[in-house]
């Protein structure tokens, strides 16, 4: 039977794997049944924090069971079709079998990749910030290209996005941009993209058509759950309001609805101008501030143990995690994993999963060696 070889670790982030590292379907279904009983309790919402945690876990377990069922169903269909193809000696049916097996293989690869996302906030939504670095106008243009790349990646993956703040460049592109990516494991996946990204190309802004190098940094933060307490003293904050910027026309805000918050103890500054309502922009800015303060504390704890995450390197030569070369050859290379792609257009259109997968595999291998 085809199904006899189906060993997947979906759900291992939640600990539902047996000692052999094989997908433990019985334990997973038993846990789902227990969670369903929990959610049916009439007093469930007496403890809101606990209730939300139960519902989140139930959603994750349901998704993991669904992954197994989809792969199992695909392989069973392939097995039936294979028998028909052999009996009828039908090439067209054989091709259909091959496609179903390839589809199951892709689903299995996705399930295995998700197994690597067992970090504290890997399942959370992501807050993405992009800032232009060295390279002048080219760097601003590069920041805008990167923003489009991640928005396209999110669209391909079925994630929802919301642009919170955009600061336009003087001539073209963006000085900075912040947006959210909402969906399962958005932070876990996009965290692999944090760092400096380098672009080499013939500059469209150079009248002599010379080759230029530009840099932009990408910062990924988890959207912090309200259950995690982040204390912010109002005395430590300065809140400024200003008129939202825009390209002109009917969408330019004519009131001071944009909000900028400065946290004095850390020097962290956040801003939001996405909504027309100052109240909504303030609430979103506070959410951004909570995420940045949480990350700030986390970095301080990590720095006390080891120098990880390359604290605030210059967005310049020698600091890049990935290079995108458009001239003289077409190539994208990740310097952490040495994974390369010659299809630059596809990468800039959001096909970055091979890079994400390679880094997650590398991190998982490092964790195994450390243990």
Q: Which domains does the chain carry?
A: 2-115 (1.20.58.410), 126-370 (3.30.70.1660)
> What is the three-class DSSP state of 185?
coil
Task: Give residues with Cβ within 8 angstroms of 315, minimum separation 6.
Answer: 131, 132, 133, 134, 196, 215, 216, 217
pLDDT at 313: 47
The two structure tokens encoding residue 128: 């993405």
pLDDT over 50 at 309, yes or no:
no
Higher confidence at residue 340 or residue 312?
Answer: 340
Task: Between 306 and 315, name the one with better pLDDT.
Answer: 315
- State mean pLDDT over 281-305: 78
Most confident of 112-121, 149-158, 271-280: 149-158
Contacts of 93 (CB under 8 A, 6+ apart): 81, 84, 85
Q: What is the DSSP letter of 159?
A: -
| pLDDT above 60 (res 270) | yes
pLDDT of residue 39: 92
Q: Long-range contact list for 200-209, CB < 8 A, 24+ apart?
A: 200/323, 200/324, 200/325, 200/326, 200/327, 201/138, 201/325, 201/326, 201/327, 202/326, 202/327, 203/138, 204/141, 205/137, 205/138, 205/141, 205/171, 205/172
At 133 the pLDDT is 94
Q: How far apart are CA 214 and CA 136, in angstroms?
A: 8
Q: Which of 50-54, 149-153, 288-292 has the lowest mean pLDDT?
A: 50-54
Distance from CA of residue 127 to its chain's centroid?
8
Question: 227 vs 51, 137, 223, 300, CA distance in Å?
Answer: 11, 42, 12, 21
For 69-173, strand residue ranges (E) read 126-132, 160-168
CA–CA separation, 145 vs 172, rounded Å?
Answer: 11
Residue scoring higher pLDDT (282 or 322): 322
Q: Where are the beta strands (DSSP E) in 265-319?
A: 268-272
Whether the predicted pLDDT of 118 surpasses 80 = no
DSSP strand pairing (195-202 vs 320-325): parallel
Please, are residues 170 and 137 in contact by the beta-carbon 8 Å criterion? yes
Taking the mean position of all CA atoms in its chain, how far away is CA 196? 16
The residue with greater pLDDT, 332 or 103, is 332
pLDDT at 294 (0 to 100): 81
Please report the pLDDT score of residue 350 as a whole number.
96
Q: Is pTM, for the whole model, over 0.75?
A: no
Which pLDDT score is estimated for 20? Answer: 36
Give me the pLDDT at residue 220, please: 94
The separation between CA 47 and the C-alpha centre of its own chain, rounded to angstroms, equals: 30
When mean pLDDT is compared over 100-114, 133-147, 290-304, the highest value belongs to 133-147
Residue 300 phi/psi, 5° resolution?
-65, -40
pLDDT value at residue 287: 83
Question: Could you identify the residue written with the tokens 């890079």?
Answer: 355
Q: Element (H or E) spanning 138, and its range?
A: helix 136-156
Token pair in block for residue 365: 């291998």
pLDDT above 50: residue 276: yes
Count CA atoms within 13 Å of residue 352 on its CB side: 29
pLDDT (tens digit per residue) in 219-257: 999 887 655 567 788 888 898 888 776 544 444 455 677
Residue 303's pLDDT is 64
d(CA 144, CA 142): 5
pLDDT digit string, tens, across residues 68-108: 888 888 888 888 888 888 888 888 888 888 888 888 887 88
pLDDT tens string 186-223: 999 999 999 999 999 999 998 898 999 999 999 999 88
SS3 label, residue 90: coil
For all residues of the chain together, what is the average pLDDT? 82
What mean pLDDT is predicted for residues 358-363? 89
């Amino acid at each position: 039977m085809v199904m006899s070889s189906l060993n997947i670790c979906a759900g291992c982030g939640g600990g539902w794997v047996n000692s052999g590292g094989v997908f433990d379907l019985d334990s997973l279904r038993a846990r789902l049944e227990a969670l369903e009983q929990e959610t049916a309790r009439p007093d469930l919402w007496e403890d809101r924090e606990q209730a939300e945690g139960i519902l989140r876990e139930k959603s994750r377990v349901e998704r993991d069971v669904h992954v197994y069922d989809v792969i199992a169903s695909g392989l069973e269909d392939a097995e039936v079709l294979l028998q028909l193809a052999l009996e009828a000696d039908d090439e067209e049916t054989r091709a259909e079998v091959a496609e179903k097996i390839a589809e199951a293989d892709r689903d299995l690869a996705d399930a295995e990749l998700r197994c690597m996302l067992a970090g504290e906030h890997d399942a959370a939504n992501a807050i993405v910030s992009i800032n232009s670095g060295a390279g002048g106008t080219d760097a601003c243009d590069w920041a805008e290209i990167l923003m489009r790349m991640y928005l396209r990646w999110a669209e391909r993956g079925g994630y929802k996005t919301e642009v919170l703040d955009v600061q336009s460049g003087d001539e073209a592109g963006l000085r900075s941009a912040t947006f959210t990516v909402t969906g399962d494991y958005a932070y876990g996946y996009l965290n692999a993209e944090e760092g400096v990204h380098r672009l080499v190309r013939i500059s469209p802004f150079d009248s002599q058509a010379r080759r230029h190098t530009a840099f932009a940094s990408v910062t990924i933060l988890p959207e912090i759950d309200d259950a995690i307490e982040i204390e912010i003293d109002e005395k430590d904050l300065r809140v400024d309001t200003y008129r939202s910027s825009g390209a002109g026309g009917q969408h330019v805000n004519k009131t001071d609805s944009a909000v900028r918050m400065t946290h004095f103890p850390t020097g962290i500054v956040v801003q939001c101008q996405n909504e027309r309502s100052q109240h909504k922009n303030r609430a979103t800015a506070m959410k951004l501030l909570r995420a940045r303060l949480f990350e700030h504390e986390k970095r301080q704890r990590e720095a006390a143990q080891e120098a990880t995450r390359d604290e605030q390197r210059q967005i310049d030569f020698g600091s890049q995690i990935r290079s995108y070369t458009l001239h003289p050859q077409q190539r994208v290379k990740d310097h952490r994993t040495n994974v390369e792609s010659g299809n630059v257009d596809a990468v800039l259109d959001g096909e970055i999963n091979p890079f994400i997968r390679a880094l997650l595999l590398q991190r998982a291998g490092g964790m195994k060696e450390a243990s």
